[in-house]
Amino acid sequence: MSFGWEAAATDGAARAGLLQTAHGAVSTPVFMPVGTAGTVKAMTADQVRATGASVVLGNTYHLMLRPGADRIERFGGLHRFMDWPGPILTDSGGFQVMSLSALRTLDEDGVTFRSHLDGSAHRLTPEIATGIQHKLDATITMAFDECTKFPATAEEVESSMERSMRWARRSRDAFVARPGYGQFGIVQGGVDPALRARSVAALLDIGFEGYAVGGLAVGEGQAAMFATLEVTVPLLPAERPRYLMGVGTPDDIVGGVQRGIDMFDCVMPTRAGRTARAYTRHGTLNLRNARHQEDERPLDPACGCTACVRHSRAYLHHLFRADEILGPMLLTQHNITYYQDLMHGLRDAICRGELNAHAAATRAAWAAGESR
């Protein structure tokens, strides 16, 4: 089985397609639930599958700290270890280069981290990060990069981007090619169109099975993110999958699809599920709000998840007010189901040639239902 993406339909810049991998096919555009430490938090693998999810994420930095890549390899790889036979994409640890800046030392060769768990020192270079992902048996390996902080000076953004491109070539050299597996390069450059173009050119010169847009959703705001996508995505090869890293809200995803993005991930739906925040077709709800304590309605009558089919808003409100673990479990399952339903609707709308109308109706329903 070769690794590759093929378009089934287009609508403006948006694409619906099929990504073929060694671990199964993925319909795009797709949202990938985040399983940072080998689990989508508060959900079993069977529950994740039941939402319609076809691909999940793991994280190199967190998994190398515990339980360790060597141990996972001895157990047959991450697919077997976490009971997920489908595709797995692994973040290389580049985001931690930015987010754990107080715990790391950066140099041209790579990064030395102090573990957030026990303070022990750990080294990541393009070669080490790629090797760890190989031990994890990641279906999609990400090149090791520096996720550029925001805000940053023009000089800092350019220096960071150039370093990431040097690391991309080293990541590619370290990648072990095999049928059905792929490696994605990551476009950096902040919100500067010229730097983004230079980054794309460098990655195309190296050559990858797919391309990610990184360094966004880090504080620049939605308008700047969308503007950056509009100048970056058209430069990427039409025959390769495009991945917007770490995004985001349902509205971010709709806008990303309209601008030609195929793949998304974010911790938002699982994190929101643990903090009583529900995403629905009629906007967001805070289940801790007292107005739900007598509400017999489901979260979303069109949703088929257990929280919506079997329980009332009043019951979910009770679970969170009582600090019962079932509340986060049910709401996380609901949010992931909603995100998968959102993607299904977007794919269907692209195939019908009605994406913009579908997006407008979706946004109108969110706005109309915010006070429900």
Q: Using one digit for the tens of pLDDT, what is the confidence trace for 91-126?
A: 998 888 778 777 889 999 999 988 888 999 999 999
In a domain, 271, yes or no: no
Does residue 258 sit in the same domain as residue 337? no
> Would you say 180 and 2 are in contact if contact means Cβ atoms under 8 Å apart?
yes
pTM for the complete prediction?
Answer: 0.97
Does residue 250 sit in the same domain as residue 291? no
Instruction: State pLDDT tens for residues 314-347.
Output: 999 999 999 999 999 999 999 999 999 999 999 9
Structure confidence at residue 370 (pLDDT): 56
Instruction: State pLDDT tens for residues 67-84.
Output: 999 999 999 999 999 999
Does residue 36 sit in the same domain as residue 172? yes
> Would you say 328 and 274 are in contact if contact means Cβ atoms under 8 Å apart?
yes
**In this structure, what DSSP letter does residue 219 have?**
S
Sign of torsion over alpha carbons 85, 89, 92, 93: negative
Does residue 124 sit in the same domain as residue 204? yes
Beta strands in the chain, from DSSP E residues, in sequence order: 4-11, 14-21, 24-28, 30-33, 56-59, 88-91, 104-106, 111-114, 121-124, 140-142, 182-187, 210-213, 242-244, 263-266, 277-280, 283-286
CA 98, CA 134: separation in Å to the nearest integer? Answer: 23
The residues that are catalytic are 91, 265
In a domain, 204, yes or no: yes
Q: Which domain holds residue 256?
A: 4-266
In a domain, 272, yes or no: no
Instruction: Point out the domain boundary residue: 239, 266, 293.
Output: 266
Does residue 188 sit in the same domain as residue 322? no
Instruction: State pLDDT tens for residues 342-361.
Output: 999 999 999 999 999 999 99
Does residue 111 sit in the same domain as residue 9? yes
Instruction: State pLDDT tens for residues 216-239.
Output: 999 999 999 999 999 999 999 999
Count up the domains in the chain and report the number.
2
Does residue 74 sit in the same domain as residue 202? yes
Does residue 250 sit in the same domain as residue 303? no
Length, in residues, of the chain:
372
H or E segment to which residue 322 belongs: none
